[in-house]
């Protein structure tokens, strides 16, 4: 879960001699990680716990689902900014779930996001860059490592204050190395907000709303046909 940081403000080119790309210490800027809110658990796309093993001080071996996609800049009239998981009020009705929408048009609220597409050209999510100076040209491939963030108990699955999303890392291959990747950004897939329900139809005004049904955290099914593989992050 500690890998799911993103550059909230002021991302600059990383001095590679200071820390590996997967570490927040590798970038200069304000770092955030709201995947740690509440009692969350995480796995690689719903099948197995993310397995990491240190290879020296600078490398991580990870067993995960990794799938290529492409990144694209949003048009100037459609620019959006990343909020992450925030809560601003009480949930009573379906429209109240809008407070958990991870994107906003207000540029003062978070970092700009880029569009993430599958190799067929369909939008599947969005990307927050670690540093624009390191990313390949627009439209080039990035490798998406998926990490599911979800509530760890049944009670929390029905609450609204714990993140529930498919997030992950955007990677590029290291030139001249076999199966080694460098982090270039943070990603989140498109999702639905889920629903609002009440345990009983009797006097719902005096009951606490629950999250039911659960959100769909991979609307496009991006990782549906993706097998596990083992890669090394540097």
pLDDT at 14: 61
pLDDT at 16: 59
Q: Where are the alpha helices (DSSP H) in the chain?
A: 154-157
**pTM for the complete prediction?**
0.88
Residues in CB range of 186: below 8 A, 6 or more apart: 4, 5, 6, 7, 127, 128, 130, 167, 168, 169, 170
Q: Say if 1 falls within a structural domain.
A: no
Residue 107 gets the label, from left (phi > 0), alpha (psi -120 to 50) or beta, of alpha
Q: Say if 184 falls within a structural domain.
A: yes
Which one, of 25, 30, 31, 29, lies nearest residue 12 by Cα? Answer: 29
Could you list the residue range(s) of the whole structural domain that residue 208 is in? Answer: 6-233
- Joined together, the tokens standing for residue 209 give 């709303």
- Mean pLDDT, consecutive 10-residue stretches, the chain (234 aa), reads 84 68 86 70 43 64 94 90 81 88 92 96 95 76 93 86 91 92 95 89 70 94 94 92
pLDDT at 47: 33
DSSP β-bridge partners for residue 99: none
Q: Say if 63 falls within a structural domain.
A: yes
Number of domains in the chain: 1
Q: Say if 99 falls within a structural domain.
A: yes
């Amino acid at each position: 879960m500690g890998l799911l940081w993103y550059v909230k403000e002021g991302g600059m080119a990383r001095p590679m001699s200071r820390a590996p790309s997967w570490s927040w210490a590798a970038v200069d800027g304000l770092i955030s990680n709201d995947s740690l809110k509440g009692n969350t658990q995480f796995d690689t796309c719903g099948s197995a716990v993310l397995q990491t093993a240190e290879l020296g001080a600078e490398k991580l071996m990870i067993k995960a689902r990794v799938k290529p996609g492409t990144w694209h800049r949003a048009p100037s009239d459609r620019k959006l900014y990343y909020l992450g998981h925030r809560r601003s009020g009480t949930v009573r009705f379906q429209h109240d779930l809008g407070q958990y929408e991870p994107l906003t048009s207000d540029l003062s609220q978070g970092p700009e996001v880029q569009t993430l597409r599958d190799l067929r050209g369909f939008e599947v999510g969005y990307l927050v860059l670690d540093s624009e100076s390191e990313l390949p040209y627009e439209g080039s491939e990035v490798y998406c490592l998926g990490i599911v963030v979800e509530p760890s108990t049944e009670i929390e699955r029905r609450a609204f204050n714990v993140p529930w999303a498919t997030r992950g890392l955007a990677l590029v291959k290291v030139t001249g190395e076999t199966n080694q990747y460098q982090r270039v950004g943070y990603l989140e897939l498109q999702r639905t907000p889920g629903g609002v329900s009440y345990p009983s139809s009797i006097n719902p005004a005096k009951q606490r709303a629950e999250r039911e049904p659960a959100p769909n955290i991979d609307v496009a099914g991006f990782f549906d046909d993706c097998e596990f593989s083992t890669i090394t992050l540097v």
